[in-house]
Structure 1
Amino acid sequence: MVSTEANAQRLTRAIAEWIASGPHSTPADVALAGRGMADCIAVMLAGWSDSASHALRRIDGLGDWADPLSPPARDPGTLAAHLACAAHALDFDDNAFGNHTSAVLTPVLLAEAARVPTSGARLLDAYLAGYETWAELSAREDDSVHGKGWHPSAVYGPIAAAAALCVLRGLDADQCSNALSLAASMSGGVVAQFGTPAKPWQVGRSARAGFEAVALTEAGMTAAPDALEHPLGFLMAISPKGHVRRDGPTETGRHMARNGLNFKRYPVCYAMHRALDGLLAIQHKSMTPPEDIARIEIEVGEAQAAMLRHAQPSTTAEAKFSLPFGAAAVLLRGGLGPAELDPDFITSDAVRALLAKVDVHTRKGRHPIEPSLAPSDSVTIHLKNGASHSSEVILPLGHFCNPAPPEVLDRKIADCLAAGPRPDHASRLLSKMRDLSALDDTRALIAIGQEDLVA
């Protein structure tokens, strides 16, 4: 009989063998991955002018890098760090199972494609390898890593980035196992940074770490073969209560069909999207003027409330993690987009007046398919005349299981491209992004020193 511990010691190897076996895609998976990469590229371009992106370029001496899809001749890890920071800067990028998968994986693949051009189909296959590796590890944890203080995108991200790169570089199972092990030693990032420019920087570090793990593997550095599942390894180290499955069969190759990707309608933390949907639903029915509101009650999960830590935001970064601000924005403006994240609006008297009326309460329990969320969020608007209106939301619009109409996401992508550094190329770039699987040569999308993109 094989012991449980012996079974556990095979996890890193099992994932590595799956990565090396390729291909990793079904037509449905490819279509969704392509949508995720297109969404990520769009928000990355829109986030290129964010303060976090500017700061990172300054310290790396890349202040004159104007177009993210025409990068300078630098090592791919550096390029990936900058692209990933911009992709997450607006907090407008997609997510899955509480993690920002595309904001790590897409920049990594773009940076590698800038170094060694490939096909769009190969990029998508590598994306899926990274996604499935990420999902496999996340699914083994029964508790909220957010609640422990871990930023999961910065914790799982390096390992997923390494997995994706292993596919593009054609590494064998031994090399894949070693790269995963090294990447596990590069994980890190804390929830305390939410609402600051350090949050997208943590995602940038994850992208860079994947390159370093693969480069060290190719250079001959070896690492523990069981770093993921060892009793003192990655999974146990990040587990909030030790309720993590280090043994048992893997389900790599099945997670995308089960979890998909969740596309954001608002450029703020996903933890508040359900509440915003609920408030908008009430407003669409009642058309209540903000001045008639006496009090706004919102109930969210404990982990959500911990992430949404800014009750009185004064900056754009803080507003993205402020549920009272999100409520005020949608009630005053009928929506929440990049325009509402202007510092003058955030600190306006109208917003401040509504902030004082928002009461946030917590509820226990976890959503069965979204572990960072409560089973549902509820909102109630109490009016000065004694009436009240309530709404309960289980999944936000744009979630994999509650998809938004295609035209909503198409409009988002078009708006982000128009707000990016090359609005003159937005329509041509969009045509390339619509079907990445048909792209024969990624130089049509990204290339080092290429001045006239997607011509």
Structure 2
Amino acid sequence: MPTALSRALAGFASGLRYEHLPARAIEAVRIGMADTVGVMLSGIDMPVSRHVLASLGTRGVKNEARIQLGTETASVADATLVNAVTTSSVVFDDVAFAGCHTSTVLMPALLAEGERIGASGRRVIQAYAAGYEAWARLAERDPDSYSSKGWHATACFGPLAVALALANLRGFDEATTLRALGIAASMSGGITASFDTDVGPFQIGRGAAGGVLAVQLAEAGMSAPADALERSGRGMLVALSPKGAVDLESPLDDLGSAWRLESIGINVKQYPFGNIAQRAVDGALDLANAHDVKPQQVMRVELLISDAQYAVISKSPSVLHFVPSHSVPLAVVAALFEKRVTFDALEESFHGRPDVQALLQKVETVADSRIPADTQPNLGFSGGVRLHLADGRVLESPSVDYARGHWTRPMSEAELWQKFWSCSSKQLAQPQAEKLFASLIRLDEVANVGTLNR
């Protein structure tokens, strides 16, 4: 008889060691951690980050973990909360499977608890893998998208991943890990109605901090259901399942031998916009650079998308309300004006310009039945972009499977550094940023993560 799902995940997390990880999985974690710390630094001045920071009860009282890798400290739970909120506030964070942002949840918790206990970079990598791999397997068990039911999957599954990761980091046995998982299941939650508001990043941060609390309570001896995920009619997976089609029975036979960190990995965003915009920006930049397109030449812009993705995109709040970081038309217009897309495009000094506003009015979304539906959700626009020019020419970029920065089209270390510097330059001097990036991208060589950015 196969091991029950919750117990199988707890056994995997409690038994995983660094030596078990393939090199490609280790590389994925190093990239995810380095990229996400940079993104966190870019969000320090965001309003939601300031709101949450002001609410912390242990700020300056407990000296367990640093806030945003700076000089202020708080409890591990509070530092995790604000650091996760700060990271997700700028929608520049990486993406893994099913549209979930694994690093946004795992990095803050692992660095906070790792700092408290003096964990090495290898221990943190090992723990990240425990949380990621378990989360990936849970995401695969339901054929339907959680967002179709209104669930924010990152916020819903984040507490579980953090609980398993921190249980591994702390060296908990299987029984304690199982209780931590059961407690974390009770903390699941988050709705897509919160997207495009401050509640979106807050519910991710709350989920990460919930995983921290689950581990603390399990260590203290709190009891919890041993089948909190899979109990028929009552477990978390059944409660969240959009159509009740979640698989509660299939065994996890290859957990620990087939690695999703190898096959799915970490998908790094090149542009400070939502994931749905990344391929469209690639297409626009390809056309603008190849044909030296000037904005004043453009009469109409068509952003091509599959019928299936259009059904999802058309319901997004960002379509109804202009939110710069979620606006695909703005990202494409920035590409046409600047031949690059940076944080500058998010400033009103750019998107409020009359010429930019005029071109925005010429951008339309076109569902194209010839474009196949993506095999992964949340990939958004296809990368197919059609430009109608004043001289009668029509330029079109082809649809692409994955954006630059996807695990199958990875950024070089130099490109990763350039993104890190663009994110951190307002907070760190360049030599300090270079030192921090070098430590993160080679996290396996760090003896104590508490020394990062010191």
TM-score, normalized by length of structure 1?
0.90
Counterpart of 2:288?
283
Deviation sequence 1:126-163 (CA, Å, 0-9, x none): 01111111111111121222232222111111110111
Deviation sequence 1:159-188 (CA, Å, 0-9, x none): 101111101111111111121121111111
In structure 1, C-alpha distance between the alignment counterparts of 2:68 and 2:325, rounded to whole Å: 24
Task: Pick from 6, 10, 19 the counterpart of residue 13 of structure 2.
Answer: 19
3-state DSSP of counterpart to 2:189: coil
Does the aligned pair in 1 maintain the 2:67–2:82 contact within 8 Å? no
Counterpart of 1:40?
36
Amino acid at match of 1:348: R
- Give the CA deviation at 1:411: 1.1
- Give the CA deviation at 1:321: 1.3
Counterpart of 1:427?
434
The question of 1:155 aligning with 2:156 is answered yes
Instruction: Give 1:5-404 correspondences, 5 Å limit.
Output: 10-23=4-17, 24-60=20-56, 68-70=68-70, 72-97=72-97, 98-231=99-232, 232-250=234-252, 251-253=254-256, 254-300=259-305, 301-302=309-310, 304-306=312-314, 308-311=316-319, 318-362=323-367, 366-368=373-375, 370-373=376-379, 376-391=382-397, 392-404=399-411
Does the aligned pair in 2 maintain the 1:304–1:373 contact within 8 Å? no
Which has the higher mean CA deviation after the structures are superposed, 12-21 or 71-80? 71-80
Does the aligned pair in 2 maintain the 1:194–1:321 contact within 8 Å? no
In structure 2, C-alpha distance between the alignment counterparts of 1:182 and 1:361, rounded to whole Å: 45
3-state DSSP of counterpart to 1:48: coil
In structure 1, C-alpha distance between the alignment counterparts of 2:411 and 2:297, rounded to whole Å: 31
Given the superposition, is the C-alpha separation of residues 144 and 419 from structure 1 closer, same or farther in structure 2, using an over 3 Å criterion? same
In structure 1, C-alpha distance between the alignment counterparts of 2:274 and 2:316, rounded to whole Å: 8
- Give the CA deviation at 1:420: 2.2
Task: Give RMSD over aligned pairs.
Answer: 2.4
Does the aligned pair in 1 maintain the 2:330–2:351 contact within 8 Å? yes
In structure 2, C-alpha distance between the alignment counterparts of 1:63 and 1:293, rounded to whole Å: 52
- Where structure 1 has 5 or more consecutive residues not aligned to the other structure, the ranges are 446-452
Does the aligned pair in 1 maintain the 2:229–2:237 contact within 8 Å? yes
Given the superposition, is the C-alpha separation of residues 235 and 420 from structure 1 closer, same or farther in structure 2, using an over 3 Å criterion? same
In structure 2, C-alpha distance between the alignment counterparts of 1:307 and 1:125, rounded to whole Å: 38
Does the aligned pair in 1 maintain the 2:275–2:379 contact within 8 Å? no
Amino acid at match of 2:341: L
In structure 2, C-alpha distance between the alignment counterparts of 1:434 and 1:169, rounded to whole Å: 23
In structure 1, C-alpha distance between the alignment counterparts of 2:155 and 2:9, rounded to whole Å: 20
In structure 2, C-alpha distance between the alignment counterparts of 1:31 and 1:281, rounded to whole Å: 29
Given the superposition, is the C-alpha separation of residues 108 and 366 from structure 1 closer, same or farther in structure 2, using an over 3 Å criterion? farther
Does the aligned pair in 1 maintain the 2:92–2:269 contact within 8 Å? yes
Given the superposition, is the C-alpha separation of residues 334 and 348 from structure 1 closer, same or farther in structure 2, using an over 3 Å criterion? same
In structure 1, C-alpha distance between the alignment counterparts of 2:148 and 2:359, rounded to whole Å: 28
- Give the CA deviation at 1:240: 1.8
In structure 1, C-alpha distance between the alignment counterparts of 2:223 and 2:67, rounded to whole Å: 37
In structure 1, C-alpha distance between the alignment counterparts of 2:47 and 2:73, rounded to whole Å: 23
In structure 1, C-alpha distance between the alignment counterparts of 2:418 and 2:126, rounded to whole Å: 26
3-state DSSP of counterpart to 1:49: coil
Count matched residues: 437
- Give the CA deviation at 1:383: 2.2
In structure 2, C-alpha distance between the alignment counterparts of 1:61 and 1:339, rounded to whole Å: 34
TM-score, normalized by length of structure 2?
0.90
3-state DSSP of counterpart to 1:381: strand
Does the aligned pair in 2 maintain the 1:146–1:303 contact within 8 Å? no
3-state DSSP of counterpart to 1:386: coil
3-state DSSP of counterpart to 1:157: helix
In structure 1, C-alpha distance between the alignment counterparts of 2:304 and 2:145, rounded to whole Å: 18
- Give the CA deviation at 1:120: 0.8
- Give the CA deviation at 1:12: 0.6
Deviation sequence 1:336-371 (CA, Å, 0-9, x none): 211111122222222221221111244686422x23
3-state DSSP of counterpart to 2:69: coil
In structure 2, C-alpha distance between the alignment counterparts of 1:153 and 1:427, rounded to whole Å: 30
In structure 2, C-alpha distance between the alignment counterparts of 1:386 and 1:81, rounded to whole Å: 53
Does the aligned pair in 2 maintain the 1:312–1:355 contact within 8 Å? no
Does the aligned pair in 1 maintain the 2:282–2:383 contact within 8 Å? no
Given the superposition, is the C-alpha separation of residues 207 and 272 from structure 1 closer, same or farther in structure 2, using an over 3 Å criterion? same
Given the superposition, is the C-alpha separation of residues 183 and 66 from structure 1 closer, same or farther in structure 2, using an over 3 Å criterion? closer
Does the aligned pair in 2 maintain the 1:195–1:319 contact within 8 Å? no
- Where structure 2 has 5 or more consecutive residues not aligned to the other structure, the ranges are none
In structure 2, C-alpha distance between the alignment counterparts of 1:307 and 1:38, rounded to whole Å: 33
Deviation sequence 1:366-396 (CA, Å, 0-9, x none): 422x233369452211223332112212110
Amino acid at match of 1:116: I
In structure 2, C-alpha distance between the alignment counterparts of 1:263 and 1:50, rounded to whole Å: 21
Identity, % of aligned pairs? 34
In structure 1, C-alpha distance between the alignment counterparts of 2:430 and 2:189, rounded to whole Å: 35
3-state DSSP of counterpart to 2:43: helix
- Give the CA deviation at 1:60: 2.0
3-state DSSP of counterpart to 2:184: helix
Amino acid at match of 2:377: P
Does the aligned pair in 1 maintain the 2:272–2:325 contact within 8 Å? yes
In structure 2, C-alpha distance between the alignment counterparts of 1:205 and 1:303, rounded to whole Å: 30
Counterpart of 1:448?
none
Given the superposition, is the C-alpha separation of residues 173 and 407 from structure 1 closer, same or farther in structure 2, using an over 3 Å criterion? same
In structure 2, C-alpha distance between the alignment counterparts of 1:393 and 1:180, rounded to whole Å: 39
Does the aligned pair in 1 maintain the 2:67–2:83 contact within 8 Å? no
Given the superposition, is the C-alpha separation of residues 95 and 408 from structure 1 closer, same or farther in structure 2, using an over 3 Å criterion? same
In structure 1, C-alpha distance between the alignment counterparts of 2:367 and 2:223, rounded to whole Å: 46
Which has the higher mean CA deviation after the structures are superposed, 417-426 or 61-70? 61-70
Counterpart of 1:449?
none
Deviation sequence 1:67-107 (CA, Å, 0-9, x none): 62145453211110111111112111111011111111010
